Each structure stands twice: as C-alpha cells, then as structure tokens.
Amino acid sequence: MEELLRVTGAQPKGVKRGEIVVGKVTEASGRTVYVDIGGKAEAVVSEQEWELNKDYLKSLKVGDEVTGMVVVAESDAGQVVISMRRAAAESKWKKFEEAMTSGEILTARGREATKGGMLVEVDGVIGFIPGSQLSAKYEGDMSVLAGQDVQVKVIEVDREQNRLVFSERAVSEAEEIEKRKKMLEAVKMGGDYEGTVVGIVPFGAFVEINIKKEKIEGLVHVSEISWEKVDDVTKFLKEGDKVTVQVIGVDEENGKLALSMKRLTDDPWTGLARKYAVDSKHKGTVVKIAPYGVLVRLDKGIEGLIHASKMPAGMAFAEGQEVEVFVESVDLEKRRLSLGVVLTEKPVGYK
C-alpha cells in the first residue's frame, strides 16, 4: 500500500465518526464484509450488525458499491468500522417497492390489532393492514392474528412518510377479487340496471344487480336515494324492493360499485329560478321545526327555510301544517331557498 501511495502520489483519505462513505466490497465471506473506501486500510462492517441485517449483508458480492456510516474512525487493528444499517433499510424499502410492482407475496407476522386494522412486521419493518384489506374471517376479531404469520401483498410504499401498507385479502381472496374485477369491467358507467335491495344501513342501501349472469352488490348512498332529503333510509326503501339504479362509480381496484336512484329522474333544482322567482308566492307544508327556523316543502325535492328571525311574532307552526310563503332569495349553487310568510292578517302587537 505504501509503495502504491508513493508511486501514485495519492494520499489516504481520513474519515470522521458519523461521516457517510461510499466504497466497493472487496471481500464478503462468512460474517465478514470488507469495503474499500479509499483509506489506508479497508473498512470493515460492524459485527453487531450481522443479526440485524444479515439478509442484506449475505446478498453482497465483491465489486458491489455500498454506502455506510463511520462508527469507529480507527479501531485497534487500524481499521475503519462502518455501519450499513441505512443501506440495509434502503435495500428493504426498494424490495417492498419491487414487490408492489411485481405483486410478489410476502410473509407478515401479526404484531398488534389497532382501531383501524393490524400492525404487522415484514423483514424487520413494521407495516399496516387496514381492516378493509383483511378477509371476512378476521372481521370479528383481528387480534387472533397477533403472533401469527399471514401472506400479504404490498399495496402502498411511501419512504418519506415511513408508510408501508399491505393487503391480506389480495392473497386469501385473490380468486374472488379477480372475478369481481372482471365483472366490474363489464359494468357500463352511467348504465341503468334493475336490482333488488338486499341490505339497509344508516348511510344507504345495498342493491344487487346482475352482470353477465352473475350477481354483484353496489351501494346507493343515502344522498343518492332521492332528490328529497333522506333522514331515514327505511322510510324510502326496504329489503326485497325492486329498484332501478344508475352506475355512477366503479372502483375496479377495490371491487366497489357506486349506484344512484335519484339520477334517473330530473333534478328538481334545474330551472328552479324560473318557477320560484324572488317575491313569487307558493303554498307548502311544514316538514321540520328547528331552533334556527322552519323548513317548508314546496315540491318533491324542494324545501325552503323560514329563518327564525323572519317569523312573525306570535305565529306558531306545526309539522304537517300548510302555509303560504313568498320567495325572499334563491341560491342555486348552495341549493337554498329563503322564504317569508305571506300574512293574511295583522301580526299580534301591530299598530
């Protein structure tokens, strides 16, 4: 080495603890890895790292370029000792990115059930399986996965946010998901289908339709049932009802179908400004009494508000009562009608 330095005139590069160095592997055998970083002597990878990163270290070959951090500038043996923990971590993230692209199946060990899913460990890295990405058999109690190995696929990798997301369903229900995807590919966006209500939930109704002689469920969200405000789904639908729905969303990746019933009819707010011009008078029915005012239904899907500050003194209202109102203002963008009461006699206290 000294003769080489004398001939070439090169000076050995000094390093400091904590410095990031780049070099090439000169020897990788057993538990020993040497790296040429241009110093007086070759750097050696810390022995303490073998158990933590042995898969990465065992994969190294002579000539591979690696990055490490100096943990000892000069040992008793005159060597630089480096850590390759960062390089190993980078290698793992790259492995997860490649697995996501290729669809490779990995083995995850369940760690802990959380509110939204399951924490798991894959190759020493902690990741997350959302509840929606676990098969039906784990719906009742995800905690049974703690300490157990499950097969998963990577569905999201974000190094900057240290976010790693897996799907167990993508493996255990792969055949069913693939079948559903093919069915969804046959669904016509904006198409109308006959279906049957198979489930009622507070946020909408599940409707079953036929696609290529196969049955598939979709959700009619509460906001897509009617142009009227729907506070209680059961007042509009019940299980077994035959309905016509329109497809408004297809999520092939997650196998979800979004449906609408109201879009099969004209939007009552279209052309509303002409029918409900400012100062025009109309008859309606009180449908709700609230601290902020009284809601009056003028037509199907059309409601207006008599604000509390605009209610005549001494006038009482009751749900179901017919009232005559006039239009104070129209806000088509926010779908709001402000109403006033048409007085047929002088208010109490009027002089």
3-state secondary structure (DSSP) of residue 146: strand
Q: 272-341 domain in CATH 2.40.50.140?
A: yes
Cα dihedral 127/132/138/141 (nearest 10) = 80
Region class of 157: left (phi > 0), else alpha (psi between -120 and 50), else beta? beta
For the chain, give the mean pLDDT: 84
Higher-pLDDT residue of 327, 75 = 327
**pLDDT band, very low/low/confident/very high, at 335 (cuts 50, 70, 90):** confident
Q: What six digits make up the tokens of 9?
A: 């005139």
Q: What six digits make up the tokens of 211?
A: 């696609």
As a whole number of angstroms, the distance between CA 16 and CA 39 comes to 12
What pLDDT was estimated at residue 1?
43
Higher-pLDDT residue of 178, 149 = 149
Common-topology check for domains 21-90 and 272-341: yes
Average pLDDT estimate for 265-292: 86
Q: What six digits make up the tokens of 102?
A: 């290729």
For domain 103-172, give the fold: OB fold (Dihydrolipoamide Acetyltransferase, E2P) (2.40.50)
Superfamily of domain 21-90: Nucleic acid-binding proteins (2.40.50.140)
- Block residue for tokens 């990798």: 157
CATH class for the region spanning 176-264: mainly beta
What pLDDT was estimated at residue 255?
66
DSSP string covering 156-221, please?
A: EEETTTTEEEEESHHHHTHHHHHHHHHHHHTSPTT-EEEEEEEEEETTEEEEEEEETTEEEEEEEE
What pLDDT was estimated at residue 343?
80
Quote the DSSP letter at residue 113. Answer: E
What pLDDT was estimated at residue 49?
75
% of the chain beyond a pLDDT of 70: 92
Helices 50-59, 85-102: axis angle to 10 degrees equals: 60
The domains of the chain are located at: 21-90, 103-172, 176-264, 272-341
The pTM of this model reads 0.49
How do residues 79-120 score in pLDDT, each as one tens digit? Answer: 888 877 776 777 788 889 999 999 999 999 999 988 888 999
3-state secondary structure (DSSP) of residue 16: coil
